[in-house]
Amino acid sequence: MSSLIVVGTLAVFVLITVFKGVRIVPQGEEWIVERLGRYHSTLKPGLNIVIPYMDVVAYRLPTKDIILDVQQQEIITKDNAVIVANALCFAKVVDPQKASYGVQNFSFAVTSLTMTSLRAIVGAMDLDEALSSREQIKARLREAMSEQTEDWGVTVRSVEIQDIKPSENMQMAMERQAAAERERKADVTRAEGAKQAAILEAEARLQSAKLDAEAQINLAEASARAISLVRDAVGTETTPAMYLLGERYIGAMENLAGSDNAKVVVLPADLQETVRGLLGRKA
């Protein structure tokens, strides 16, 4: 009976030993083996044999791309504007040994490095540049992180900016600024309109004055021409001039008679002497 117990115990021990010596690594992972507390080897996907009780699987690392969520954070830009940004970092373990022993937690380290690098890059930009330069920020992030993550056995595939926008307080300030700018442009437009209207009105008055002056000049020249023609036609005779003045006088009296208002007309007492004075004759 005791021999059966011993044989059974040995069989169980052998089975446990065989089980501990055989390791099946799934695709997409690599395992770090330590022997007596020190790094020994890296197990690739598939069937692997280790020495039981001496070799221990210390780390199991994924070799697939890892998606790291970089949480939202506030960043102060070069022109003292506050923006909010978050991102996704796509990384891959290329050296499991360095990823295990080069940094305590490579996922947390890459995430923290992405946050600090993003803050430094965006902080060196103006607000408008930061909001419109996503591709430039991505390229500079990857360049800034590649050297550091190489020591950790990790390569950064890309960093995608999920969202980058002004903070709520900044958005309110920008809206007020935009409203003020629109009002300023409207005031400028109204002022320009008033200015143009005043210029056009002044030009119209000037043109009207010029036309009035020309009309008066033309009227004066016509009157002078008419007087000259009358003088040449009448000559030394006063009878035709008296006839013309008498005709004008009668017409004027008729107009006054038809008016509702009272009129007082003062005429020279001696029409003949008046005519001679107009014609340049001496009595």
pLDDT value for 209 = 85
CB atoms inside a 10 Å sphere around CB 34: 16
Say if residue 1's pLDDT is above 60: yes
pLDDT of residue 234 exceeding 70: no
pLDDT at residue 92, as a whole number: 92
Kindly report which listed range (124-128, 140-144, 230-234, 278-282) carries the lowest average pLDDT score.
278-282
Percentage, residues of the chain above pLDDT 70: 79
- Joined tokens for residue 86: 């978050």
pTM value is: 0.56
Return the minimum-mean-pLDDT range out of 71-80, 95-104, 141-150, 167-176. 167-176
Lowest mean pLDDT, pick from 127-131, 181-185, 221-225: 221-225
Q: Where are the domains of the chain?
A: 17-62, 66-166, 168-233, 235-283
186 vs 244: which has the higher pLDDT: 186
pLDDT given at position 220: 79
Q: What's phi and psi for 220, nearest 5 deg?
A: -65, -40
The predicted pLDDT at position 154 comes to 92
Of 251 and 136, the structure prediction assigns the larger pLDDT to 136
| pLDDT average, residue stretch 103-118 | 90
3-state secondary structure of 217: helix
Position 44 scores a pLDDT of: 92
Measure the N-to-C terminal CA separation of the chain; round to a whole number of Å: 183
Distance CA 195, CA 143 (A): 56
Alpha-carbon dihedral sign for residues 68, 71, 75, 81: positive
Predicted pLDDT at 61:
92
What fold does the segment set 66-166 form as a domain?
Answer: Tetrahydropterin Synthase; Chain A (3.30.479)
pLDDT number for residue 33: 93
Summarised one tens digit per residue, pLDDT across range 4-24 is 777 777 777 778 787 788 888
> Does pLDDT of 214 surpass 80?
yes
Given a cut of 70, whether residue 269 has pLDDT beyond it is: no
Structure confidence by residue, pLDDT tens digits, 41-76: 999 999 998 888 888 899 999 989 999 998 888 888
Q: Is the pLDDT of residue 31 over 90?
A: yes
Q: How far apart are CA 217 and CA 214, in angstroms?
A: 5
What confidence score (pLDDT) does residue 258 get? 66
